[in-house]
């Protein structure tokens, strides 16, 4: 039973962010954003000139719909596997403990 959902805006499924609708597929969406972040080396939300914000899914959609998957990757921004393993364990890339993105529900 979920009593409260918290998370970072860039990782929240659109149906939850807009209508508060929670389902197991919300976790799948968030995990997909995390994978896209790891593959591309981009942040979930980026600030464009003029204060406009763009999500990683908005940025990636044209590449995906046109089948230009190789253009999604920015190798110089991509973390290495040691950093990814540390992130999954809850550590920042320099070994510092990361602040959790979600509080556990009791």
Mean pLDDT of the 10-31 span: 82
Q: Is residue 102 pLDDT above 50, yes or no? A: no
Using 50, 70 and 90 to split pLDDT, how confident is the model at 103? very low
Give mean pLDDT, residues 48-55. 92
CA 94 distance to own-chain centroid: 20
Question: 41 with 78: CB under 8 angstroms?
Answer: yes
Predicted local distance difference test score (pLDDT) of residue 3: 55
Is the predicted pLDDT of residue 105 greater than 50, yes or no? no
Position 77 confidence tier, pLDDT thresholds 50, 70, 90: confident
Domain boundaries, the chain: 9-89
Rounded Cα gap, residues 35 and 63, in angstroms:
16
- CATH code for the domain defined by 9-89: 1.10.510.10
Confidence of residue 104 (pLDDT cuts 50, 70, 90): very low
Q: State the Cα–Cα distance between residues 16 and 25, nearest whole angstrom.
A: 10
Beta carbons within 10 angstroms of residue 46's beta carbon? 14
Sign of the Cα torsion 40, 88, 58, 62 reads positive
């Amino acid at each position: 039973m979920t009593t409260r959902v918290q998370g970072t805006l860039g990782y929240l499924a659109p149906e939850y962010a807009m209508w508060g609708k929670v389902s197991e597929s919300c976790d799948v969406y968030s995990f997909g954003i995390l994978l896209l972040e790891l593959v591309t080396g981009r942040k979930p939300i980026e600030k464009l000139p003029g204060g406009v914000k763009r999500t990683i899914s908005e940025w990636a959609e044209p590449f995906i719909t046109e089948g230009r998957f190789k253009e999604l990757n920015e190798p110089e921004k991509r973390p290495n596997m040691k950093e990814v393993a540390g992130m999954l364990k809850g550590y920042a890339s320099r070994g510092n403990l990361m602040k959790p993105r979600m509080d556990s529900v009791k």
